[in-house]
């Protein structure tokens, strides 16, 4: 069965025409789906039209299977997909708005050592409509509408590698920012990649003003290969070259993620090497403390050490901040909650 949310507004108009329906039906359906409704819940179209749609399309693209709320207010969701797979999402309340962190794949094939998402490998890509439906549901649950959204910001930092699911991710960005739908500003969306160089070049040409974030985590290539297998394919110099191209094409600065792992990448030597690599570049470094995942055995750096690491970077002339660790008590790290859920079901 297909996912109706995969269709753009124009594609939905064409579908209505092919079904012999009036064009304004497309607008009604598009609005309803963007509001987080399932097909059966749309009240202003006929049952006959719903039945026609349900012959080919899933009634419910994603269903909220579980919702956990952290002591810090962060909400973590497990979504059930129509084929029985599970993905997760996180909703964080901030003073400037609310951010949804979403998954782009079920599992991941990048195999980063510290990350729970990759432990079982890649199961499948999410479609653009499935990604969109997770936003629509979370927005609705938090009292948002398409005119007055609860979800104001989006980060593609859940499970999966967005650039390993490139076409669906690009279509999702177009769908979620469509003024016919949720109309989330692309400038409020961040996409994080572990560093797939060809896709960084391709993305630079898309004309989408999304914030590009790259997971760096180690300034020495040889060590980075141990932490992130993708480093065997692309060196840091190749990544930096692609980032320079991105800046040249878009005029947008880029961000590096740096998750501190005790004794691995939190040394003075690492800070100095980072400064050497990044000084003078139009970039910012987001330092986070590792969210410990039991399978990896890796330990987190303390908060105090994280601040002194950032202090070293700043002294070296970099723009850097320590990012808050959200929802650690509810398995906030990518892929943790899905893994625990699957283990419990066994
Ligand atoms: N595949 C994309 C998006 C992944 S998640 C990427 O690699 O960028 C977003 C960020 O969280 C990445 O920087 C990722 O390396 C980091 N991350 C994953 N697991 C983590 C953990 N347990 N603790 C801290 N950061 C983690």
Domains and CATH numbers, the chain: 1-60 (1.10.150.530), 62-345 (3.20.20.70)
Residue among 173, 171, 155, 246 nearest 203 (CA) = 246
User: Cα–Cα distance between 325 and 189 in angstroms, integer?
Assistant: 19
pLDDT at 339 exceeding the cut of 80:
no
Tally the C-alpha atoms within 13 A of residue 345's C-alpha that lie toward its C-beta.
10
Q: What is the Cα 196 distance to its own chain's centre?
A: 15
pLDDT at 345 exceeding the cut of 90:
no
Ligand 1 atom nearest the C-alpha of 289 is: 24
Distance 276 CA to ligand 1 centre (A): 23
pLDDT at 219 exceeding the cut of 70:
yes
User: Other CB atoms closer than 10 Å to residue 275's CB: what's the count?
Assistant: 19
In the set 88, 130, 161, 264, the catalytic residue is: 88
9 token code pair = 């507004």
The count of residues in the chain is: 346
Distance 32 CA to ligand 1 centre (A): 33
Give mean pLDDT, residues 18-36. Answer: 97
Q: Is 243 a catalytic residue?
A: no
Give mean pLDDT, residues 45-62. Answer: 97
User: Cα–Cα distance between 196 and 242 in angstroms, integer?
Assistant: 10
Closest C-alpha residue for ligand 1 atom 10: 157
Ligand 1 atom nearest the C-alpha of 292 is: 22
Distance 112 CA to ligand 1 centre (A): 8
pLDDT at 110 exceeding the cut of 90:
yes
Q: Is 13 a catalytic residue?
A: no
Residue 334 is predicted with a pLDDT of 59
Q: What is the CA radius of gyration of the chain?
A: 21
Sheet holding 97-102, edge to edge: 62-69, 75-81, 86-94, 97-102, 153-156, 189-193, 211-215, 254-260, 283-289, 320-322
Give mean pLDDT, residues 254-283. Answer: 97
Residue 201 parent element (H or E) = helix 197-204
Q: How confident is the model at residue 72 (pLDDT cuts 50, 70, 90)?
A: confident
Give mean pLDDT, residues 310-334. Answer: 81
Site residues for ligand 1, CB cut-off 6 Å? 110, 112, 114-115, 157, 161, 192-194, 215, 257, 259, 288, 290-291, 293, 333-334
Tell me the CA distances in angstroms from 17 to 5, 25, 38, 42, 224, one per residue in order: 17, 10, 21, 19, 53
Q: How confident is the model at residue 189 (pLDDT cuts 50, 70, 90)?
A: very high
Residue 341 is predicted with a pLDDT of 67
79 token code pair = 């979504």
Residue 205 is predicted with a pLDDT of 98
Across the chain, mean pLDDT equals 94
pLDDT at 288 exceeding the cut of 80:
yes
């Amino acid at each position: 069965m297909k996912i109706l949310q995969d269709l753009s507004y124009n594609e939905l108009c064409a579908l209505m025409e092919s079904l012999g329906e009036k064009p304004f039906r497309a607008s009604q359906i598009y609005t309803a789906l963007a509001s987080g409704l399932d097909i059966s819940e749309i009240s202003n179209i006929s049952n006959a039209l719903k039945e026609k749609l349900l012959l080919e399309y899933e009634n419910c693209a994603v269903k909220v299977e579980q919702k956990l709320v952290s002591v810090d207010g962060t909400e973590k969701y497990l979504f059930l997909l129509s084929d029985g797979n599970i993905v997760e999402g996180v909703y964080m309340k901030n003073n400037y708005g609310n951010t949804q962190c979403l998954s782009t794949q079920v599992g991941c094939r990048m195999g980063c050592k510290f990350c729970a998402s990759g432990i079982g490998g890649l199961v499948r890509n999410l479609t653009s409509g499935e990604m969109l439906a997770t936003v629509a549901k979370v927005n609705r649950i938090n009292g948002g509408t398409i005119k007055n959204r609860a979800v104001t910001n989006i980060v593609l930092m859940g499970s999966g590698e967005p650039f390993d699911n490139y076409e669906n991710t690009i279509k999702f960005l177009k769908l979620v920012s469509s003024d016919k739908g949720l109309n989330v500003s692309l400038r409020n969306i961040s996409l994080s990649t572990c560093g797939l160089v060809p896709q960084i070049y391709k993305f630079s040409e898309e004309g989408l003003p999304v914030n590009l974030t790259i997971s760096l985590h180690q300034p020495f290539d040889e060590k980075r290969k141990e932490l992130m297998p993708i480093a065997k394919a692309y060196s840091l110099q190749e990544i930096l070259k692609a980032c320079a191209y991105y800046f040249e094409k878009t005029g947008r600065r880029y961000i590096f993620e740096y998750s501190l792992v005790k004794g691995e990448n939190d040394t003075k030597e690492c800070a100095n090497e980072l400064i050497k690599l990044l000084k003078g570049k139009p970039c910012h470094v987001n330092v986070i403390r590792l969210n410990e995942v039991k399978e990896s055995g890796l330990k987190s750096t303390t908060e105090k050490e994280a601040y002194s690491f950032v202090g070293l970077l700043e002294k070296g002339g970099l723009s850097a901040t320590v990012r808050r660790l959200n929802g650690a008590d509810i398995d906030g790290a990518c892929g943790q909650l899905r893994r625990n859920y699957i283990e419990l079901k066994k």
